[in-house]
């Protein structure tokens, strides 16, 4: 029986305008009223999820956050953090080599500090885009907390003194389509996830949303069979595969839809709410069979 609902944020629980569908929120409230536990499973940090967990009132019950693609777990009921493996300084240097080889921007995420590693020409192009198109040079990463910093690194080998939670590689969608397999081979010591058309994330091997949700389920006395997970991108694949019911959004990547039990409507069409309604109406077995 499903007891835990796990949601990715961008492209899943959040609509294209970064708001939540009122119908989806109402469906989640009905699930909570029936005793279900809610997990927000995101690449974001805690402050980056605040605008979601506060209106859902997750702080008021036994609910969780699986942050930074599962690297950090936050337990609202006990106000506790659980941290998994991080990337080392040596890992950071290996990833810098790949950034130089493919001329991509690497953003080294270290707690509240985001370090941008990019060539002078690349930084110049980024600044021009900011002036002409208004695209933020920090990709919105500073939003959500005054404590966050977006720091430009010199284009040479450096040794970051903080632990590296993850590294984001930024380039065009067409670039990643052409080079992703070669890059994955160069980065085979890590988990490499394409989370958006022009956005790749590098995580320590074996750290995922799935591993975090499994820990949460065990803490609550359940297993992954008791989890329904929703997602749209590569960093959601493992949790969708391992969940009792895995749900891919209609707007999701084909690779996600292939492993899901259910493909629902898009994030802009109350896709989550539709599936929760089916679940609460007693159609769990049909959802597992991919019939509903």
Provide the pLDDT confidence category of residue 130 given band limits of 50, 70 and 90.
confident
- Region 140-152: mean pLDDT is 87
Sign, CA dihedral 186-187-189-193, equals: negative
In terms of domains, do 117 and 198 share one? yes
In terms of domains, do 131 and 276 share one? no
Look at residue 152 and tell me whether its pLDDT is greater than 80: yes
Q: What are the start-end ranges of the H helices in 243-270?
A: 254-259
In terms of domains, do 216 and 80 share one? yes
Provide the pLDDT confidence category of residue 147 given band limits of 50, 70 and 90.
confident
Q: What is the pLDDT of residues 176-202, one digit of tens each?
A: 999 999 999 999 999 999 998 899 999
What pTM did the predictor assign? 0.90
- Region 193-221: mean pLDDT is 95
First to last CA, the chain: 17
Q: Which of 159, 188, 204 is the last residue of a domain?
A: 204
The helix/strand/coil state of 110 is: strand
CATH value at residue 102: 3.30.1240.10
In terms of domains, do 111 and 70 share one? no
What's the rounded Cα separation, in Å, for the pair 216 and 212? 6
Give the CB-side neighbour count of residue 216, counting CA atoms within 13 A.
Answer: 38
In terms of domains, do 200 and 212 share one? no
At 142 the pLDDT is: 87
Write down the residue that tokens 């609550």 correspond to: 220
- How many other CB atoms sit within 10 Å of the CB of residue 79? 8
Q: Which of 204, 233, 251 is the last residue of a domain?
A: 204
What's the rounded Cα separation, in Å, for the pair 181 and 147? 36
Q: Quote the number of domains for the chain.
A: 2
At 157 the pLDDT is: 85
In terms of domains, do 187 and 93 share one? yes
What's the rounded Cα separation, in Å, for the pair 68 and 63? 17
In terms of domains, do 262 and 180 share one? no
* Assigned token pair, 55: 């209106």
What's the rounded Cα separation, in Å, for the pair 176 and 168? 13
What's the rounded Cα separation, in Å, for the pair 209 and 197? 20
Q: Which residues contact 272 (CB under 8 A, 6 or more apart)?
A: 7, 12, 13, 21, 24, 27, 28, 230, 247, 249, 264
The length of the chain is 292
* Assigned token pair, 249: 């959004």
Q: What is the pLDDT of residues 253-288, one digit of tens each?
A: 999 999 999 999 999 999 999 999 999 999 999 998
- Domain of residue 178: give its range: 89-204
At 289 the pLDDT is: 85
- According to DSSP, the residues that pair with 117 across neighbouring strands are 106
Q: What is the pLDDT of residues 227-249, one digit of tens each?
A: 999 999 999 999 999 999 999 99
Please, are residues 37 and 4 in contact by the beta-carbon 8 Å criterion?
yes
In terms of domains, do 120 and 177 share one? yes
Radius of gyration of the chain (CA): 19
Q: What is the pLDDT of residues 20-33, one digit of tens each?
A: 999 999 999 999 99
In terms of domains, do 95 and 172 share one? yes
Please, are residues 167 and 95 in contact by the beta-carbon 8 Å criterion?
yes
Angle 173-186/89-102 helices, nearest 10 degrees? Answer: 130
In terms of domains, do 157 and 56 share one? no
Q: Which of 135, 169, 204 is the last residue of a domain?
A: 204
Provide the pLDDT confidence category of residue 169 given band limits of 50, 70 and 90.
very high
How many secondary structure helices (H) and strands (E) does the chain include?
10, 14
Q: What is the pLDDT of residues 33-77, one digit of tens each?
A: 999 999 999 999 999 999 999 999 999 899 999 999 999 999 999
In terms of domains, do 211 and 79 share one? yes
* Assigned token pair, 197: 């058309």
Give percent above pLDDT 90 in the chain: 85
Write down the residue that tokens 């989640």 correspond to: 28
CATH value at residue 211: 3.40.50.1000
In terms of domains, do 181 and 239 share one? no
- How many other CB atoms sit within 10 Å of the CB of residue 261? 20
At 224 the pLDDT is: 98
Please, are residues 126 and 137 in contact by the beta-carbon 8 Å criterion?
yes
């Amino acid at each position: 029986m499903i007891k835990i609902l796990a949601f990715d944020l961008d492209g899943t629980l959040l609509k294209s305008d970064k708001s939540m569908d009122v119908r989806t929120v109402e469906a989640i409230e009905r699930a909570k009223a029936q005793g279900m536990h809610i997990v927000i499973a995101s690449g974001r940090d805690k402050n980056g999820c605040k605008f979601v967990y506060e209106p859902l009132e997750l702080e008021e019950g036994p609910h969780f956050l699986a942050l930074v693609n599962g690297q950090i777990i936050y337990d609202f009921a006990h106000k506790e953090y659980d941290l998994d493996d991080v990337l080392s300084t040596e890992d950071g240097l290996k990833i810098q080599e790949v950034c130089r080889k493919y001329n991509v921007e690497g953003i080294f995420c270290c707690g509240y500090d985001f370090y941008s590693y990019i060539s002078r020409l690349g930084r110049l192009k980024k600044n021009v885009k900011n002036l002409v198109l208004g695209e933020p040079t920090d990709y919105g990463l500073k939003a959500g907390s005054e404590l966050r910093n977006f720091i430009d690194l010199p284009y040479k080998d450096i040794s970051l003194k903080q632990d590296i939670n993850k590294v984001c590689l930024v380039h065009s969608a067409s670039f990643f389509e052409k080079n992703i397999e070669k890059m994955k081979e160069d980065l085979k010591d890590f988990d490499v996830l394409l989370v958006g058309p022009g956005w790749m994330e590098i995580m320590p091997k074996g750290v995922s949303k799935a591993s975090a949700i499994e820990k949460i389920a065990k803490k609550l006395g359940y297993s992954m069979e008791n989890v329904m997970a929703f997602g749209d991108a590569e960093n959601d694949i493992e949790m969708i595969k391992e969940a009792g019911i895995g749900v891919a959004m209609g707007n999701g990547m084909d690779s996600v839809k292939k492993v899901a039990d259910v493909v629902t409507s898009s994030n802009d069409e109350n896709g989550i709410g539709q599936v929760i309604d089916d679940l609460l109406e007693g159609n769990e077995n049909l959802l597992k069979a991919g019939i509903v």
